[in-house]
Chain A
Amino acid sequence: MMWRVGTVVALQDETATARTITLKVPDWPGHIAGQHVDVRLTASDGYSAVRSYSIASAPNAEKRVELTVERLPNGEVSPYLTQELAVGDRLELRGPIGGWFVWRTQQTEPIQLIAGGSGIVPLMAMIRSRASTGSTAPFRLLYSVREPGAVFYRDDLLALSDCYNKVSLTYAYTRIPPKDWPRPPGRIDGALIADVTWPSNLAPTCYVCGPTPFVESAVGFLSASGNSADKIRTERFGPTGDRK
């Protein structure tokens, strides 16, 4: 697969440590919600580093690709992408990649999305794709996040979860919940999964994305609730959420 060049046309901070980069990629062939790209940075001495980032945007005709990048302490690539990259800069990317962790607009069955932290990114592409195509597939999102300030796409999620044909949205806060939040802070557990996800007898397709330990536990709870393994698709990004 060839490397393409995209030009940065917009930058938007999602949180104190995460930024959405909008690229215009003239020869972009189109993508499916859930796919990712590899981004390659090359230093003047020829050293290069490649990282994978999920696409946050819905497929669109404008050849625009949005990536949301979380800055990792001691990261080699993410500090550059989140702090130094400017509008007008160019980035090399390879993609779209991956035909497994995808939601296609032809799917009409109930969809259960479960995000841990920045694992929301490919799931947001699915939610946006559903909205932009007018799909009525029933969607539920369970979004586990450290605190309210760490939520990505807050306004979009609010709008898409508070309209006709809405996506049902549940936040689970692991450290600091908003005031008067009913559930004490903590990781997702079997009771929460049983309470807020689709009943398994509806045979939802489940997409789980997050750090590897988060995905392991979420998949365990989904299985315990009766969801069959072949209906659960996962995308893990490592022990701490560090991609590669």
Chain B
Amino acid sequence: MNSHTYDYDYIDGNAAAGELSNIFAMDVTVAEGQCAHCGATKRFAEAHLYMQAPGVVARCAVCEHVLLRFVKARQRAFLDLRGMTCLILDTSQLQEC
């Protein structure tokens, strides 16, 4: 098991919903994301979220591989999603938007 698992400096992916709502039209935290490292497919809300950095880093709750990085600086936002092979969104939500 990765040593990160017992550092208690993370919160849940839930907490990124507000920040990511600036980028995505839908609530990404209820989407399922597949980890590019271990293949686990879990809700983004269940990811481990680290917010101490200049931006937001989400790690896989199973293997702690980085799923997403999001940084805002000087009127630009940088979104790195390479840690997820797939993000599966529930389109029934669109009717609620």
Per the bound structure, the CA–CA distance linking A38 and B16 in Å amounts to 10
What is the 8 Å Cβ interface bit string for chain B, positions 1-20, against chain A (1 contact, 0 not)? 00000001111111101110
Interface residues of A, count at CB 8 A: 26
Q: Does A212 interact with chain B (Cβ within 8 Å)?
A: yes
Per the bound structure, the CA–CA distance linking A141 and B9 in Å amounts to 26
Q: Does B45 interact with chain A (Cβ within 8 Å)?
A: yes
* A240 nearest in chain B by CB position: B8
Q: Does B43 interact with chain A (Cβ within 8 Å)?
A: yes
Per the bound structure, the CA–CA distance linking A234 and B13 in Å amounts to 10
Per the bound structure, the CA–CA distance linking A98 and B15 in Å amounts to 8
Q: Does B85 interact with chain A (Cβ within 8 Å)?
A: no
Number of A-B pairs, beta carbon distance below 8 Å: 70
Contact yes or no, B21 A238, CB < 8 A: no
Q: Does B91 interact with chain A (Cβ within 8 Å)?
A: no
A236 CB contacts on chain B under 8 angstroms? 10-12
Q: Does A101 interact with chain B (Cβ within 8 Å)?
A: yes
Q: Does A143 interact with chain B (Cβ within 8 Å)?
A: no
The 8 Å CB contact of A94, one of B8, B21, B27, is B21
The 8 Å CB contact of A216, one of B8, B51, B93, is B8
Q: Does B30 interact with chain A (Cβ within 8 Å)?
A: yes
Q: Does B29 interact with chain A (Cβ within 8 Å)?
A: yes
Known contacts: A52-B15, A244-B15. The answer to whether A99 contacts B10 by CB under 8 A is: no
A198 CB contacts on chain B under 8 angstroms? none
Interface members, chain A 89-108 (any B CB < 8 Å): 94-95, 97-101
Q: Does A185 interact with chain B (Cβ within 8 Å)?
A: no
B15 CB contacts on chain A under 8 angstroms? 36, 52, 235, 237, 243-244
Q: Does A213 interact with chain B (Cβ within 8 Å)?
A: yes
Interface residues of B, count at CB 8 A: 21
Q: Does B95 interact with chain A (Cβ within 8 Å)?
A: no
Interface centre among B15, B19, B43, B51 (most CB of A within 10 A): B15
Q: Does A239 interact with chain B (Cβ within 8 Å)?
A: yes
Contact yes or no, B12 A97, CB < 8 A: no
Q: Does A1 interact with chain B (Cβ within 8 Å)?
A: yes
The 8 Å CB contact of A212, one of B10, B14, B22, B51, is B10
The 8 Å CB contact of A238, one of B9, B14, B46, is B9
Interface members, chain B 39-72 (any A CB < 8 Å): 43, 45-46, 51
Can you list 13 residue pairs at the A/B interface with Cβ under 8 Å?
A95-B18, A97-B21, A98-B17, A98-B29, A101-B12, A212-B11, A216-B8, A235-B12, A235-B14, A236-B10, A239-B9, A243-B11, A243-B15
Shortest beta-carbon contacts, A-B, top 3: A100-B45, A1-B21, A38-B18
Given A36-B17, A216-B8, 7 further pairs, Cβ under 8 A = A52-B18, A101-B45, A211-B8, A233-B45, A235-B15, A236-B10, A237-B15
